[in-house]
Amino acid sequence: MEIESRLVEVLQHARHVAVLTGAGVSAESGIPTFRDAQTGLWAQFSPEELASPGAFRRNPRLVWEWYAWRRELVTQATPNPGHLALAELERRVPRFTLITQNVDGLHQRAGSSAPIELHGNIGRVTCSEEGTVVDRWDTSDEELPPRCPRCGAYLRPDVVWFGEQLPEAALAAAWDAAQSCDLFLSVGTSGQVEPAATLPRVAMQAGATVAVINLDVTTAARPPLYTINAPSGVLLPTLLRAAWPV
Ligand code: APR
C-alpha cells in the first residue's frame, strides 16, 4: 500500500499528533461497529434503543444484559495491529493525544498510556443515582441490574448514552488537542455523532494536516486533507513503517 509521501513527511516532523478513533479501529478485533447490523439476539434493537437513559428507565435489565454481552465480547477480543500501531506512535512523537469514542478499553490493552475516553468505558460500572464508580457489589442477588451497595439504586455501565453529556474534562482535553496538534488522524469513525465529529474540522481550522482513514472514503490527497480508504489494522502499521522504517 502506497502512502502519500507528503503525509509521511508531516508525520515524521510532527511535534504533536492527535488521533480520534471510532468503532472501526476495533472492528478487526471482532467487535461489531455501531453502524453494522446488530447480530443475533440483539438484531431486533438499534443501539439508540439500548444505549439511552430512556431505554434504561424502561427496561434496565435488558440494557444491563446488552452491556454484559458486549463486555464479554470485549473480554474475548484482543487489540489488533491498528491499536498496537497507535501505541507505538505515542512512543515515536514528541507529543501524542489519543481521543477515542470506543468504550472497549482495547487502546489501553495495546499499550496506549492515557486515551481520552469521550464516551466512557464499558469495563467500569457506576451508580445510576450517585454517578460514582462502583467496584464491587453483591453478586449473590439474582436481580439485574445489581444495586448500588451504598444507596440501593441500579448500577449502570460507565458509558455516555445518547442524549447524555460527555465528560467535560475529556471533551475539553480533546478540543485542546485538536486545536494544538499539527497532524490529526481520524480513524474508523463514521463521524455521525457530535461533538466528536467536529474535532477534525477544529484541527484543520487551527492549521493542522488532517488524514481520515476509513473504509467508506475515497483515497485522495488534497493537502491539508488526506482521505485513505483502508482497514486501520493495515494502514496504521504501514504508515508507522513508512515514517520510521525498522
Ligand atoms: N478500518 C477502518 N474503518 C473501519 C473499519 C476498519 N477495519 N471497519 C469499519 N470501519 C469504519 C466504518 O466505515 C464506519 O465509518 O468505521 C466506522 C464505524 O462507524 P460507527 O459504527 O458509526 O462507529 P463510531 O463512528 O465509533 O460511532 C460513534 O456513535 O453509536 C455511538 O457512542 C457510539 O461511540 C459511538 C459513536
What digits encode the pLDDT tens for the residues 113-155?
Answer: 999 999 999 999 999 999 999 999 988 888 999 999 999 999 9
Report the C-alpha gap between 208 and 226 in whole angstroms. 11
How many A from CA of 94 to the centre of ligand 1?
28
Report the C-alpha gap between 180 and 155 in whole angstroms. 38
Cβ 21 vs Cβ 86: under 8 Å: yes
**What is the value of pTM for the model shown?**
0.95
Cell (9 digits) for 33: 461497529
Report the C-alpha gap between 28 and 77 in whole angstroms. 9
Q: Which of 25, 51, 24, 21 is nearest to 174 (CA)?
A: 21
Report the C-alpha gap between 23 and 33 in whole angstroms. 5
CA dihedral 194, 196, 197, 198 (to 10 degrees): 100
Specify the CATH number for 5-243; select among 3.40.109.10, 3.30.70.100, 3.40.50.1220, 3.40.50.150: 3.40.50.1220
Cell (9 digits) for 220: 485522495
How many A from CA of 5 to the centre of ligand 1?
27
Atom of ligand 1 nearest to the CA of 33: 21
- Concerning whether 16 is annotated as a catalytic residue, the answer is no
Cβ 129 vs Cβ 113: under 8 Å: no
Neighbours of 156 (CB within 10 A): 22
H-helix or E-strand spanning residue 8: helix 5-13
Q: How do the domains of the chain map onto residue ranges?
A: 5-243
pLDDT single digits (tens) 10-24: 999 999 999 999 999
Q: At 20, give phi and psi (nearest 5°).
A: -110, 125
Cell (9 digits) for 243: 515514517
How many A from CA of 129 to the centre of ligand 1?
30
Strands annotated E in 29-150: 95-100, 116-117, 120-127
pLDDT value of residue 40: 66
H-helix or E-strand spanning residue 106: helix 106-110
pLDDT single digits (tens) 43-61: 778 877 899 999 999 999 9
Report the C-alpha gap between 84 and 89 in whole angstroms. 9
For atom 25 of ligand 1, which residue has the closest CA?
189
**What does the pLDDT average to over 213-233?**
97
